[in-house]
Amino acid sequence: MKLGLLLLCALSAFAQNWPSFRGEHAMGIVDGKPLATSFDVPAGKNILWKTEIPGLAFSSPIIWGDKLFVTTAISDDPKDFRVGAYGDVEPSKDLAKHTWKVICLDKKTGKVIWEQVAHAGVPKSKRHTKNTQASPTAATDGKYVAAWFGSEGLYVYDMNGKLMWKKDLGIMNSGWFFDVDYEWGVASSPIIWNGLVILQNDMQTDSHIVAFDVKTGQQKWRTSREGEIPSWGTPNVFETKDANGKPHYELVTNATKAIRGYDPATGKELWHMTGKNFNSETTASTPVGTDVIYIVNGYPPVFPLFAIKTRQTGNISLGEKDSNDSVIWSKKRGGGRGLTSLLQNDILYTISDSGIATAYRAKTGERIYQQRISKKGNSFSASPVMANGHIYVGSEDGDVFVYKAGEKFELVSENPVGEWIMASPAISDGVLYIRSAKHLIAVAEKK
């Protein structure tokens, strides 16, 4: 029996984890076991399992060992939701009672292991018609699972579903900057770093970034983001080492008014970057680079890109320049809106919400190619992921497109899912996990 338990622990330790939004450090990239590049969900081709998930949510699945976690919000009277490209600012009228849940599934079978009701009641804040009441992706460190529901609070469970602690942080009013009555809901996901749960809360007033002890819920630090207005990006921690091998950590946030770097242990601001290149809302996160932070930041008509050196201090704003001692290169357009980028082998891959795929040389910013992914005119909100030299991106029309990484765009396949896709997929041990409108789907090459 003891030998069996030791073997189980060893297998779990070597499982390919995907602990937060877009995996480790939000990179969105894993290599290893072959991943299916062709599948058909309605036809059952290369589908390992398909499990219905009730409610409406954009949160992505996360994985640790053999456990997969998702969150959802179930409305007693669902209404006012639509995908596609449109500019309406009016919030949803879905004000019926909701039930917010955290669900744990077996990643191999799709069977529910446990589910917990985090909160139930009428939403304390409204959402956009293209947002949900459960859009932030959960995070785990293998011991705890942190689920963030905005105005409904922060909840931390152990891996078996026991509630360890919860926090009510008040009303999270993230919405249209020009009128506070237009509430759009939150989407920034929590991260767990070095025993801290970190949240980026950019709102109409009192924007801040805050850290809690993941074990006890004790607030460790809170830093005001004075002057910042609503944004929906997820923070990220970058680790570099000096010549002596000493690690240096930077907590980087992408937002509407400024890009900022903090000490994640204390919350102290290290550097900031402002400028007229920033425009309206920001939703993308920050892909990790080697000693370089790549920022995708934009909203029509400006979609800038920035390559920023790590270990900076003070004000590193560009002014009228395209580069300076802190910023290696920048572009006023080309960054896209809403989708987080990918970085591998000195190539930075971006995708716009209208489906334009672009590749840049990460060191210089030189554009390698720009190509429309599909002729169908799809809209895209789910950030792409990469495995074994292939990029996977889901569309709001319900297809997953696969194209090759590298210096030439080559579409490999268009794979029907049959339901809209707004959540970024997860990858673990040769399986692609897709969250669609109503289901969680495991895609794997069948032998």
Q: In a 10 Å sphere around its CB, with 0-12 CB exposed, 13-18 middle and 19+ buried, how is residue 54 labelled?
A: middle
Q: Please determine, for residue 343, whether its predicted confidence score (pLDDT) is greater than 70.
A: yes
Q: Report pLDDT for 19.
A: 97
What are the tens digits of pLDDT across the range 260-284? Answer: 999 999 999 999 998 754 544 444 4
Q: Please determine, for residue 401, whether its predicted confidence score (pLDDT) is greater than 80.
A: yes
Residue 277, SS3 per DSSP: coil
Nearest-5° Cα angle at 295, 291 to 297: 175
Question: Alpha carbon 187 to chain centroid distance?
Answer: 9
C-alpha span between 374 and 388 (Å, rounded) = 22
Domain boundaries, the chain: 12-443
Q: Report pLDDT for 278.
A: 55
Q: Which two tokens stand for residue 27?
A: 């990179």
Q: Please determine, for residue 177, whether its predicted confidence score (pLDDT) is greater than 90.
A: no
Percent of the chain with pLDDT over 70: 90
- Mean per-residue pLDDT over the chain, rounded: 88
Residues 6 or more apart whose CB falls under 8 angstroms from that of 18 comprise 24, 30, 61, 62, 63, 64, 426, 427, 428, 433
Over the Cα atoms of the chain, what is R_g?
A: 21
Q: φ, ψ for residue 298 (rounded to 5)?
A: -175, 165
Question: Alpha carbon 337 to chain centroid distance?
Answer: 13
**Mean pLDDT calculated for residue range 374-391:** 89
Q: Report pLDDT for 126.
A: 87
pTM attached to this predicted model: 0.92
Strand ranges inside 215-309, DSSP E? 219-224, 236-241, 247-254, 258-262, 269-274, 292-296, 305-309
* Fold that domain 12-443 belongs to in CATH: Methylamine Dehydrogenase; Chain H (2.130.10)
Highest mean pLDDT among 6-20, 79-93, 140-154: 140-154
Q: Report pLDDT for 8.
A: 32
pLDDT tier at 295, thresholds 50, 70, 90: confident
CB atoms within 10 A of CB 392: 26
Q: Please determine, for residue 327, whether its predicted confidence score (pLDDT) is greater than 90.
A: yes
Highest mean pLDDT among 72-81, 146-155, 202-211: 146-155
Q: Report pLDDT for 288.
A: 57
Residues 6 or more apart whose CB falls under 8 angstroms from that of 188 comprise 136, 148, 199, 200, 201, 202, 231, 232, 233, 234, 235
pLDDT tier at 435, thresholds 50, 70, 90: very high
**Mean pLDDT calculated for residue range 204-214:** 95
What are the tens digits of pLDDT across the range 81-106? Answer: 777 666 677 777 888 999 999 999 99
- Residue pair 233/259 in contact by the 8 Å Cβ criterion: no
Q: Among 286-300, 366-380, 416-430, whose mean pLDDT is lowest?
A: 286-300
pLDDT tier at 399, thresholds 50, 70, 90: very high
C-alpha span between 269 and 251 (Å, rounded) = 9
DSSP string, 105-129: EETTT--EEEEEEEEEES-SS--BT
Q: Report pLDDT for 320.
A: 85
Q: Among 126-130, 248-252, 259-263, 359-363, whose mean pLDDT is lowest?
A: 126-130
Q: Report pLDDT for 277.
A: 47
Q: Report pLDDT for 135.
A: 94
